[in-house]
């Protein structure tokens, strides 16, 4: 069975969605470890309660990005994963780290990239007055919130939305598309070839990938 390592920094709801998909046998993968850069990440408690090995590589105890990324990579590689899944991992990664995991490093971002890279995506979407917002699963490249897109889910922006309402609508879609993308990868249907996504997905994607 293929192995994944999930990196988190906080709440870990995407990690939970992945663990739930495994528990429901919709995703056939061994979650070898959940690793956080923050010792107080709530997701660590959730993972441990489900019997998943956890580890902390605290960025505050490392001198700089290079040292932190080297320690993080050593920790990850100890679990020999086939795929590394960034799930709310709030650290900018060095080019060396990203290159080391080229083609086997996925991220989920709460916007329809290339719109709204960076932070506060939902608030910015509201301020711009866009009518469609969503989330993106992508292979990670050295540029922040950039990289070949695997799957996106779109949601409407409603006149009554505040940041929390819009974030919740997007998050529900994140929890659908991330397990799907990981499943495609571990089933060998998703690959990165010469910087392009090669995807042999189901013909009929769930309607949720288009609208809620």
Residues that bind ligand GRF (CB under 6 A): 8, 10-14, 87-88, 108-110, 135, 171, 174
Work out how close the CB of 188 gets to ligand GRF at its nearest, in angstroms, rounded to a whole number. Answer: 25
Catalytic residue among 59, 109, 133, 175: 109
CA 44, CA 155: separation in Å to the nearest integer? Answer: 29
Work out how close the CB of 183 gets to ligand GRF at its nearest, in angstroms, rounded to a whole number. Answer: 17
Work out how close the CB of 88 gets to ligand GRF at its nearest, in angstroms, rounded to a whole number. Answer: 3
**Annotated catalytic, 138?**
no
Question: Running DSSP on this structure, what letter comes out for residue 132?
Answer: E
Closer CB to ligand GRF, 94 or 136, in the complex = 136
Q: Is beta strand 105-109 parallel, antiparallel or unpaired with respect to 132-139?
A: antiparallel
Closer CB to ligand GRF, 175 or 183, in the complex = 175
End-to-end CA distance of the chain, in Å?
A: 32
Closer CB to ligand GRF, 10 or 81, in the complex = 10
Q: Using CB atoms, what's the residue nearest to ligand GRF?
A: 88
- Asked if the bond preceding 114 is cis, omega within 30° of 0, the reply is yes
Work out how close the CB of 43 gets to ligand GRF at its nearest, in angstroms, rounded to a whole number. Answer: 6
Closer CB to ligand GRF, 70 or 163, in the complex = 163
> Which residues participate in catalysis according to the annotation?
109
């Amino acid at each position: 069975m293929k192995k994944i390592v999930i990196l988190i920094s906080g709440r870990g709801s995407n990690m939970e969605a992945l663990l739930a998909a495994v528990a429901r046998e919709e995703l056939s993968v061994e979650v070898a470890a959940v690793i956080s850069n923050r010792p107080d990440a709530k997701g660590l408690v959730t993972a441990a309660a489900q019997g998943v090995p956890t580890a902390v590589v605290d960025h505050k105890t490392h001198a700089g990005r290079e040292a932190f990324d080297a320690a993080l990579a050593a920790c990850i590689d100890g679990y020999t994963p086939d795929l590394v899944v960034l799930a709310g991992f709030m650290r900018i990664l060095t080019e060396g780290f990203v290159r080391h995991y080229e083609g086997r490093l996925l991220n989920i971002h709460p916007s329809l990239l290339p719109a709204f890279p960076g932070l506060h995506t939902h608030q910015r979407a509201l301020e711009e007055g866009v009518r469609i917002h969503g989330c993106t699963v992508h292979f990670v490249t050295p540029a922040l919130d950039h990289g070949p897109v695997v799957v996106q889910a779109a949601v409407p922006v409603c006149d009554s939305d505040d940041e929390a309402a819009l974030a919740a609508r997007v998050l529900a879609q994140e929890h659908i598309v991330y397990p799907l993308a990981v499943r495609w990868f571990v089933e060998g249907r998703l690959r990165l070839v010469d910087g392009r996504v090669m995807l042999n997905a189901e013909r009929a994607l769930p309607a949720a990938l288009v609208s809620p």
